[in-house]
Amino acid sequence: MRLPRFLVPIAVLLVSSGWAASQLRQIGMVNLPGSPGFSELAFAKGMMLMTHTAASTVDVFDPTRRRVVAQITGLQSPRGIAVDNTNGRVYVADSGSNVVAVIATDTWKVSETIPVQGLPDALLLDDSGKRLYWSDAENGTVSLLDLGTRQNIGNVQIGGTPRYLAQDPDRGVVFATVQDRHEVVAIDPQLKIVSRFDLNASQPTGLVYDGRFQELYVAVRYAVLTINAANGVEVNRVPAAAGIDRLWLDPESRTVYGAGGGTLLVMRADQGRLSVVDEIATDVKGHTVAYDADKKLVFVPGGREGKSKVLILKPMPSAQSQGNDKSAEAQVR
């Protein structure tokens, strides 16, 4: 279709800026058992693990066969998840039972439970694989568990509600978003708060650390921030939907995915700054996202019409995207 002459410059601008076509293509939507309500995603032994809080299970999803191949039951309120690939273990925060459940990846069954004094929420396995950080949003603490002795080393009062955790492995510093204090706190291995970064934004939740540029990406209300991890200075920000509260960084493609409330935000992390590549209204409403670097697929679990589903999307290759752009531009000339 030939456009009126006065519309051609506008159409070319939309194509060249990336608005003409989505950067992701939906390739599947799979039904999942149980009511909608997911907390965390992780990968182990080629499987995607989903803490299915509403169903009190951990769902083991095979990205190749595109179906749930195992369900780990006996949990009360599974939330955070951390994977130890070296030893074939998965740690799950069971907030409803005040334990950290240990799952064996060879059987996909709970091999033991570790009692803790509190309500475990987010989990973070340190770089050594011997210590596990866990947050307690209800009591405002971040604690450290010795996985060798199965004993808690100690905890630190955050002074607010901790949400997500991330680590700088070079310095051994753990960062936590504090949702009700618009802060990110930095905690050293001795469980001392060494920095408090005051954000010019409210309700920080999602958090990832980018080791290439020593920066933090923080999901806040209506934006995602880039923060210098050494001094807390804001480098830049991009607009985001209000519900974006889970982030996932793919270091190879320099892509950051953000999910929340039926929106998937695709961002480029280039030269230490974020820019929005795409914003997609998803067919499911969920608050978590994962990128499978082996299969090159994006997964968004959530709910649709009261049923649990996982949306599967594939990033469009750069060359193909450029080809589409050229074809679209040629059509409007």
pLDDT, mean of residues 211-224: 96
In a domain, 15, yes or no: no
Q: 184 near 194, Cβ under 8 Å? A: no
In a domain, 129, yes or no: no
Name the band, by pLDDT with cuts 50, 70 and 90, for residue 32.
very high
The C-alpha atoms of residue 106 and residue 144 are separated, in whole angstroms, by 26
The C-alpha atoms of residue 160 and residue 180 are separated, in whole angstroms, by 6
Could you tell me the two tokens for 313? 């999307």
Name the band, by pLDDT with cuts 50, 70 and 90, for residue 21.
very low
The C-alpha atoms of residue 301 and residue 29 are separated, in whole angstroms, by 9
How many structural domains is the chain composed of? 1
Beta bridge partners of residue 274, listed in sequence order: 269
Q: pLDDT value at position 38?
A: 96
Residue 79 has a CB neighbour count (10 Å cut-off) of: 22
pLDDT tens digits, 152-207: 999 999 999 999 999 999 999 999 999 999 999 999 999 999 999 999 999 999 99
The C-alpha atoms of residue 80 and residue 328 are separated, in whole angstroms, by 44
In a domain, 70, yes or no: no
pLDDT tens digits, 77-135: 999 999 999 999 999 999 999 999 999 999 999 999 999 999 999 999 998 899 999 99
In a domain, 1, yes or no: no
pLDDT tens digits, 235-290: 999 999 988 989 999 999 999 999 998 999 999 999 889 999 999 999 899 999 99
In which domain, by residue range, is 250 found?
A: 199-333
DSSP strand E in 126-206: where? 131-136, 141-146, 151-157, 162-168, 173-178, 183-187, 193-198
Query: Strand, coil or helix: what is 301?
Result: strand
CA angle 210, 312, 125 (to 5 degrees): 35
Q: pLDDT value at position 127?
A: 87
148-154: long-range contacts (C-beta < 8 A, 24 or more apart)? 150/114, 152/116, 152/117, 153/191, 154/191
Residue 215 has pLDDT above 70, yes or no: yes
Name the band, by pLDDT with cuts 50, 70 and 90, for residue 326.
very low
Pairing of strands 67-72, 57-62: antiparallel
Beta bridge partners of residue 300, listed in sequence order: 311
Residue 322 has pLDDT above 70, yes or no: no
Name the band, by pLDDT with cuts 50, 70 and 90, for residue 22.
low
The CATH number of whichever domain residue 251 belongs to comes to: 2.130.10.10
Q: pLDDT value at position 333?
A: 38
In a domain, 133, yes or no: no
Put simply, whether the predicted model's pTM sits higher than 0.85 gets the answer yes
In a domain, 29, yes or no: no
In a domain, 235, yes or no: yes
Name the band, by pLDDT with cuts 50, 70 and 90, for residue 318.
low
On the CB side of 63, how many CA atoms lie within 13 Å of its CA?
26
The C-alpha atoms of residue 83 and residue 134 are separated, in whole angstroms, by 13
